[in-house]
Amino acid sequence: MKQKLIPAVAFTMALTIAGCSKPATSASSADNKEAIKTDYDVVVVGAGGAGLTAAITAAENGASVVVLEKQGTIGGNTALSGGEIAAPGNWLQQEQGIEDSVELFYEDVMKGGDYKANPELVHKLAEKALDAATWLRDDIHVEFEDKMLFFGGHSVMRSLVPNGETGVEIIKKLKAKADELNITVLTNTKAEELESTDNTVTGVKASTKDGDLTFTATKGVVLATGGFGSNIEMRKEYNPEMDEKILSTCSPGSTGDGITMAEKLNAATVDMSYIQTYPTCDITSGTLLYVGDVRLAGRSILVNKEGKRFVEELERRDVISKAVTEQTGGVSYMFWDESAMEASGVKDAHPEEYEKLIKDKHLVKADTIEEAAEFFDIDADNLKKTVANYNQYCADGKDLEFNKRGDLVPFGEGPYYIMVSQPAVHHTMGGLVINTNAEVQDTDGNTIKGLYACGEVTGGIHGTNRLGSDAIADIIVFGKVAGEQVSK
């Protein structure tokens, strides 16, 4: 539903289809501006998954809440994502007899981020991730599919998939709950500056098409403005490698505003140079390619122009991305067969993206391996050998080349598919320093009173590298914490 077009258009469409853009109150005319209420208990900046979760939790605790969103539609990167949430000990794992634990998840997150994350924050994430998923299912009425995905770097399959394999399902349901709780959501309303008195944050100055408005917050402000993946200058400032040559999967709203605003109040940041690229994105737009989730179903291999595998396909995103950039042309070719296509369901879940990839000649379906290889000028003899070797590893139950994790399923009859892709900026691990109460810390290690942050705007939760499906766990867990704390 959402990847066919460029991100902004795609997600507007997705949310319109989901019925989400309509209820968002718009601060669009001078008359409206006069009429808009500006005094609240809580002001939340950013209407992605973290912001809406914080707003709902605060409102459930009795606070009056406004959410400011600078774009014309809500959802941010959350809506663009696949929406999968890592949840150790979840209901599908129990049904399938997959053993998991808070400790194992904690260890995976720490190891996946090279032990650079803040252990206290990761403990909180690991302890509360299942609660977060259950809250989404039972309180927010998010529908989950009857399957999980195996994201790179996790030791077991633990990632739940919302209906339609899209974060739109989560945003749509969070918005419905926000409406039920009479939370005001103002789109086209950009937070510009934090207001503070006596070292306590008291409100937010925002701009609208019709002029400026100052929103006062008697209890506090929650920053949930997402990351800075779409801000090339900021990316380069912290990591010169992440320059304009690298495309981005991110929402245009991911420009680091929350970080910049909080820094003016002496807020501390952490891990700002850790910027993640997603390994398999569109080579012309940078959009994350969900047809490529056949890889996460464990049913594809990645090869290079020479027709050879070069990395474990379920490795961490940073490892795969780095390996891809070292291959001929800086791209990878994902290979799979018809039975993988059917078993993974990726074509049915993402039909528009599939058709667009075929039209753009970024994906080919062919009866034979040779034919598929020739389409991309890949060494066909090598590819055939690679596939035969891989099938032998599957028969032996061990991948002797890259030790691929999970079940090894051999490739069978055609048709076969090959998709070209390359890495694009996806997530910024760094951000504002928070404590386990989601309170923003200043550069002297003190809490900035009245200021909370949650979601991608924060740092320290994923270390050098975020594992797939940990972001949704992060934004819901810490969105809830921020909402609870600010409304106390």
Q: Pick between residue 48 and residue 82 the one whose CB is nearest to ligand ADP.
A: 48
440: which strand partners? Answer: 434
- Return the residue of 15, 18, 41, 49 that touches ligand ADP, per CB under 6 A: 49
Judged by CB under 6 A, the stretch of 34-42, 55-63, 66-74, 127-135 that binds ligand ADP is 66-74
Sequence length of the chain is 488
Judge whether 228 and 77 are in contact, CB under 8 Å: no
Q: Which of 188, 196, 231 is nearest to 213 (CA)?
A: 188
Judged by CB under 6 A, the stretch of 72-80, 89-97, 238-246, 400-408 that binds ligand ADP is 72-80
Q: Pick between residue 43 and residue 323 the one whose CB is nearest to ligand ADP.
A: 43
Torsion of CA 289, 13, 150, 314, to 10 degrees: 20
466 in catalytic set: no
Judged by CB under 6 A, the stretch of 19-27, 74-82, 105-113, 240-248 that binds ligand ADP is 74-82
CB of 226 to ligand ADP, least distance (A): 3
DSSP state of 466: P
User: How many whole angstroms separate alpha carbon 276 and alpha carbon 286?
Assistant: 13
- Return the residue of 1, 58, 68, 378 that touches ligand ADP, per CB under 6 A: 68
Judged by CB under 6 A, the stretch of 65-73, 87-95, 173-181, 395-403 that binds ligand ADP is 65-73
User: How many whole angstroms separate alpha carbon 468 and alpha carbon 476?
Assistant: 15
CB of 438 to ligand ADP, least distance (A): 12
**Quick check: 426 binds ligand ADP (CB under 6 A)?**
no
CB of 14 to ligand ADP, least distance (A): 13
**Quick check: 470 binds ligand ADP (CB under 6 A)?**
no
**Subset of 201-260 contacting ligand ADP (CB under 6 A):** 224-226, 251, 253-254, 257
Q: Pick between residue 78 and residue 118 the one whose CB is nearest to ligand ADP.
A: 78
User: How many whole angstroms separate alpha carbon 294 and alpha carbon 118?
Assistant: 32
* 160 HSE (CA, 13 A, CB side): 29
User: How many whole angstroms separate alpha carbon 476 and alpha carbon 483?
Assistant: 10
**Quick check: 456 binds ligand ADP (CB under 6 A)?**
yes
User: How many whole angstroms separate alpha carbon 120 and alpha carbon 105?
Assistant: 14
Q: Pick between residue 15 and residue 324 the one whose CB is nearest to ligand ADP.
A: 15
366: which strand partners? Answer: 416
CB of 345 to ligand ADP, least distance (A): 25
CB of 69 to ligand ADP, least distance (A): 5
**Subset of 172-201 contacting ligand ADP (CB under 6 A):** 190-191
Q: Pick between residue 118 and residue 344 the one whose CB is nearest to ligand ADP.
A: 118
The catalytic position among 158, 235, 295, 317 is: 317
Judge whether 88 and 103 are in contact, CB under 8 Å: no
- Return the residue of 3, 12, 21, 77 that touches ligand ADP, per CB under 6 A: 77
Longest CA pairwise span in the chain (Å): 72
CB of 129 to ligand ADP, least distance (A): 15
| Ramachandran area for residue 77 (φ above 0: left; ψ -120 to 50: alpha; else beta) | alpha
Judged by CB under 6 A, the stretch of 76-84, 126-134, 334-342, 431-439 that binds ligand ADP is 76-84
DSSP state of 305: T
Q: Pick between residue 253 and residue 450 the one whose CB is nearest to ligand ADP.
A: 253
**Quick check: 70 binds ligand ADP (CB under 6 A)?**
yes
Q: Pick between residue 110 and residue 194 the one whose CB is nearest to ligand ADP.
A: 194
- For 424-457, b/e burial (b = at least 16 CB within 10 A) is bbbbbbbbbbbbeebbbbbeeeeebebbbbbbbb
Judge whether 183 and 487 are in contact, CB under 8 Å: no
Judged by CB under 6 A, the stretch of 40-48, 267-275, 374-382, 441-449 that binds ligand ADP is 40-48
In three-state secondary structure terms, 408 is coil
CB of 408 to ligand ADP, least distance (A): 34
CB of 404 to ligand ADP, least distance (A): 30
**Quick check: 378 binds ligand ADP (CB under 6 A)?**
no
User: How many whole angstroms separate alpha carbon 196 and alpha carbon 449?
Assistant: 9
- Return the residue of 10, 47, 357, 424 that touches ligand ADP, per CB under 6 A: 47
User: How many whole angstroms separate alpha carbon 425 and alpha carbon 362?
Assistant: 19
Judge whether 310 and 254 are in contact, CB under 8 Å: no
Q: Which of 97, 107, 92, 99 is nearest to 161 (CA)?
A: 92
Active site residues: 317
Q: Which residues bind ligand ADP (CB under 6 A)?
A: 45-51, 68-71, 76-78, 190-191, 224-226, 251, 253-254, 257, 455-456, 475
